[in-house]
Chain A
Amino acid sequence: MIADIVSYLHKTLKMSIKNVFANIGQYACFFAAIFIIQVFFATLTIIIHNNDNTEWQRVQDEYDYHVVVYGLNDDQMLYVDNEWRNYFGKDDVYKNIRSFRHYNAYDDLSTYDIYITLKGVDQDALEESFDRFYIHLSDLSAMGSLHYEKTPLLNFEKNLLTNRIVYIIAMAALIVLSVFLLVILYNIRINHYKFIYGIYMSFGADFKKLFETAFWEMFTVASITFLPATGVSIFISWLVLFVHGLPFTCPVWTLLLTAVYGLIVLLFSVWFPMKLMAVKPPMTLIISQDNSNLVSSPRRSLNIFGSKFPFTYEFYTSWRFRGYNLRLLVSAVIFTSLFICGLYVAEITRVTFANESPQYTIDLSKTNRKYDEDMREDLYKIPGITLVSKSNVSDAVYQGSHLRVRSEYTRPFSNLVVPENMDGYRVTNELQYRTIDADIVTELEKYDYDGDLSAPLTDDNVVVIADSIANTRRFKYKVGDKIEIGVVSEKLGAVDTNLSGLPLLKDQLEKYRFEYHEFTIGAILYDIPTLEMPIYLSEASYEKITGETVKYDTLEIYVDQSLSAADTINLEAVLRNWGMIYGGVSVDNTHALHIAAVNEDKQYDEIFTIVAALLLTISPMIWFFSQTLYYLKRENEFTILQSMGALMSDIRRLYIFGGIFMGILSFIFCLGLGYSLSYLLYFFVNVIVPQWTLQYVRYKFYMPWYAILLAVVMSVSCGFLSAFLPYRSFKKRKSKTLSVEYGEVSE
């Protein structure tokens, strides 16, 4: 059995190697493509492996505790001090490495925070320790409220799992992209060598045979490119990490994994084209060889040496090969478009990670205190705090209210409800009422806006609005225009509780009566992230429209981005002390600074830029591989034309015309496809993604001029040169023989 396998591999590989090297020209493009694919996989695998190490290192550097238990009262703390020691005895499951006492002199109350390190080296041991620890931790809840929080040091492996899932998704996407590339190249090859496959199939080659042959040939190519590709990948990965001062390792398994990905790509990329070809009758494959050598349509042939030659002739030829031309244009230009999109993805990553998140969230809901000027002042006195963000929000859909808009203020495709009995109006309940004060005005100033954001602070009839819903501009309002908010005045019947969104609004319009409140637009926000359209009202107007009392239950604390990990722990203690003073206020650490630092370490934007650059290199490969084979096939046709009197200069003009034709088309395709794909991406991240998950960033449409220029120049020059360069080799081959066969060769 083993001997059979060895013999099979020996025979097959020997034949594949011979075939590949005997037809090295045919396979040159595959060498380049597979090399790039291997660089893709190896670079990403190595960098992502190093990212895991870097993240682990950072977690260890920034955290010396696994759990923080905070807000313990005196009884709970006493229980911790006395009973836990009894329970755990000498079994050192946990270690209290740090504790803080917060004292409220006014009420003479104390609370305590304790920072716990659990016993265990690996995740399983830590989990086990935590489970044992948790049994006694939960005892504390009988003596008062219990707050605890796990840190990234305890959750690292869970975070790692998330990283793994992202990695698997990225690899799956890359496999699809790589298969797509190789299938394109393989189809080009098949298209030009149909005849050979037709002969193989005539003499008994079935799909298995065709697949085996093709696979082992590609395997041979992949084996040859593997070492150089991994060398280049190691260098790129090292460089990326070195530039940012991060450590670098490259274990063997990352390279083995790269080889496995390569094999998966080869299997699929050979399977698809061969499966499609194996179902064709061999005769159609053999005959296509003859058809490709047709001079031109017989109906047009009479004119070819008249005034219409050579340009009209070549124009007809371009039409005759329209399927081929279209496939070539799309498949080659799509990679330059993907290059532009790759840069957009890098930009999206940059913008996402540059977006600051709050380091702490404060929950005021359990206190009797309303967030007031004293609390605010005390918070801003704490060193390190840069912004205290608060919001008071109410969705219109819960209020049963809506916005009524005159149709001339709406943009096309704004997806608003057209109400009956309200001529010239559109309505929507995709609204969010928010209060505004001086602090919120300051926060809103970071967005692009027109008008006076402070206007609602002095006039209750003025509002600040965004002009978009779901990050898409829907309205044509200007500052000073009026908006009308409909509030339920009478309910004539019950609405269908199964409905939501716009269908619910339609039902409400039928069954409720509304009173409309007019407001003047004081300012319009253009690039604020929106799922529903925000309307900022003064506190008085907010209470009038929503019927709710203004209460800021949640505060988000933004901190100085340069704070160290130790600083954030101290700040956390100070904040909890502040919370203690105001009674029952809980403070949660989001670890935002740590997450931001980890994300920055991962260099996603640079990885995407590298992927984009590699994608750009694929396009010339497709152009030159396909066009070289195409013109090689047409050499018979040109020879026949010469035999009928065409001069070499005429033939050269055919090539030039073909080059200009493809150059112009590639210019159009490059811009069209580049714009379309970028817009799709823009739409996806701004409109689709926010519907699945909370998103606090609104991305701008991004097509950098240098990327467009590079992509267009590459597409146009490849389109032209891939047609013109084959002329030189044709001329070289023919110049020696034509004078003999057809008389004088004229330039």
Chain B
Amino acid sequence: MDNDVRSRYILQTESVIKQYKQYDETITAVNRVDIKIEEGEFVAIIGSSGSGKSTFLSCCAGLDKVDAGHIYIRGQDITKMSHDELSRFRGANMGFVFQRHNLIPQFTALENILIPTLMVNKKDGSYDETLRRLVKTLNIEDRLHHLPSELSGGQQQRVAIARALINMPQILFADEPTGNLDRANADEVLDLLIKTRDSIGQTLVMVTHDLKIASRADRIFRMDNGVLTLDRDYLDGKRKTINGY
């Protein structure tokens, strides 16, 4: 497939395989997964625990190595990038919300949010407006100078989301971003993510257990024993037609 076709998609994977060794057993967490995601799309990946969806998401974000296959982001094969190229590419184009929020315990909420700006050497002041908007929308304005241990689970997750969005990445990977939130908060966070997507044309790839949240996605995929399939039930219900599937 030539690059022009690939660059139509912001994310495209080809036969991605990821395996783990546990004692003498080899576990295939991601098994020959192909996916094509267009710019601005909101894609949800659902599946049972241990089905490999988080691993797949980490691989797509270049946070983990694949054992085989290719992952193209904006037509560029990130599996072929050097470690430094990948880091810079990630900093410039991607955001990631971890399943367990993964805030640095020694840093305040504000410092945690600003980490990505430091990593890509953003000039002071260039992110002020975004920061103001994010903390206001996420309702964490009065918690910015608190350490993560002084925040509730929901607040910690909002800080993690703010951290993922501070650089306005073109593609956001979110692993159970609303897992620790109550219904109202979860809806609010999702509203924010969708609003951000709409405002900057961001692509959103989300792993979730929450079918209500998944139902707001443009497409839903199901991960089962490392195999990714389009969720037909959902597709039929929504009567959507997706090119290529």
- Interface on A for B, CB 8 Å cutoff? 11, 15, 22-23, 195-196, 199-209, 278-279, 281-284, 286
What is the minimal beta-carbon distance from B44 to any residue of chain A, in angstroms? 21
Which chain B residues border A278 with CB–CB below 8 Å? 83-84, 87
**A206, B84: Cα distance in complex, Å:** 5
Which chain A residues border B58 with CB–CB below 8 Å? 283
**A201, B63: Cα distance in complex, Å:** 8
Instruction: Check if B200 is an interface residue, CB within 8 A of chain A.
Output: no
- Contacts known (A199-B104, A203-B163, A204-B91); A283 close to B84, Cβ less than 8 A: no
Beta-carbon nearest neighbor of A210 in chain B: B87
**A201, B89: Cα distance in complex, Å:** 11
Starting from the known contacts A203-B90, A203-B91, A204-B90, 9 additional A-B residue pairs (CB-CB under 8 Å) come to A200-B119, A202-B63, A202-B98, A203-B95, A203-B115, A204-B88, A205-B119, A206-B84, A209-B121
Beta-carbon nearest neighbor of A18 in chain B: B111
- 4 A-B pairs with least C-beta separation: A204-B91, A206-B87, A203-B116, A206-B84
Which chain B residues border A202 with CB–CB below 8 Å? 61, 63, 90, 96, 98
Instruction: Check if B102 is an interface residue, CB within 8 A of chain A.
Output: yes
Instruction: Check if B187 is an interface residue, CB within 8 A of chain A.
Output: no
- Interface on B for A, CB 8 Å cutoff? 58, 61-65, 83-85, 87-88, 90-92, 95-96, 98, 102, 104, 106, 115-116, 118-121, 124, 163, 167
**A202, B172: Cα distance in complex, Å:** 12
A206 near B88 with CB under 8 A, answer yes
Beta-carbon nearest neighbor of B90 in chain A: A204
B91 near A23 with CB under 8 A, answer no
Which chain A residues border B104 with CB–CB below 8 Å? 195-196, 199
- Contacts known (A202-B90, A203-B116, A204-B87); A195 close to B64, Cβ less than 8 A: no
What is the minimal beta-carbon distance from B81 to any residue of chain A, in angstroms? 11
**A70, B102: Cα distance in complex, Å:** 85
Beta-carbon nearest neighbor of A203 in chain B: B116
Can you list 20 A-B contacts (CB < 8 A)? A22-B106, A199-B104, A202-B63, A202-B90, A202-B98, A203-B91, A203-B96, A204-B88, A204-B116, A204-B120, A205-B119, A206-B83, A206-B84, A207-B87, A278-B83, A278-B84, A281-B63, A282-B64, A284-B64, A286-B98
- Contacts known (A278-B83, A278-B84); A203 close to B119, Cβ less than 8 A: yes
**A11, B104: Cα distance in complex, Å:** 22
What is the minimal beta-carbon distance from B50 to any residue of chain A, in angstroms? 15
Interface centre among B84, B98, B120 (most CB of A within 10 A): B84
A208 near B84 with CB under 8 A, answer yes
B84 near A282 with CB under 8 A, answer no
- Contacts known (A199-B102, A200-B119); A205 close to B64, Cβ less than 8 A: no
Interface centre among B63, B92, B120 (most CB of A within 10 A): B63
Which chain A residues border B84 with CB–CB below 8 Å? 206-208, 278
Beta-carbon nearest neighbor of B116 in chain A: A203
Beta-carbon nearest neighbor of B98 in chain A: A286
What is the minimal beta-carbon distance from B93 to any residue of chain A, in angstroms? 9
**A286, B104: Cα distance in complex, Å:** 11
A205 near B102 with CB under 8 A, answer no
**A556, B163: Cα distance in complex, Å:** 81
Which chain A residues border B115 with CB–CB below 8 Å? 199-200, 203
Interface centre among B88, B90, B119, B163 (most CB of A within 10 A): B119
Which chain A residues border B119 with CB–CB below 8 Å? 200, 203-205, 209
Which chain B residues border A281 with CB–CB below 8 Å? 62-65
B92 near A204 with CB under 8 A, answer yes
**A22, B108: Cα distance in complex, Å:** 12
Which chain B residues border A208 with CB–CB below 8 Å? 84
Beta-carbon nearest neighbor of A201 in chain B: B87
A205 near B87 with CB under 8 A, answer yes
Which chain B residues border A286 with CB–CB below 8 Å? 63, 98, 102
What is the minimal beta-carbon distance from A645 to any residue of chain B, in angstroms? 25
Which chain A residues border B120 with CB–CB below 8 Å? 203-204
**A205, B121: Cα distance in complex, Å:** 9
Which chain A residues border B116 with CB–CB below 8 Å? 203-204
**A200, B90: Cα distance in complex, Å:** 11
Which chain B residues border A203 with CB–CB below 8 Å? 90-91, 95-96, 115-116, 119-120, 163, 167
Which chain B residues border A205 with CB–CB below 8 Å? 87, 91, 119
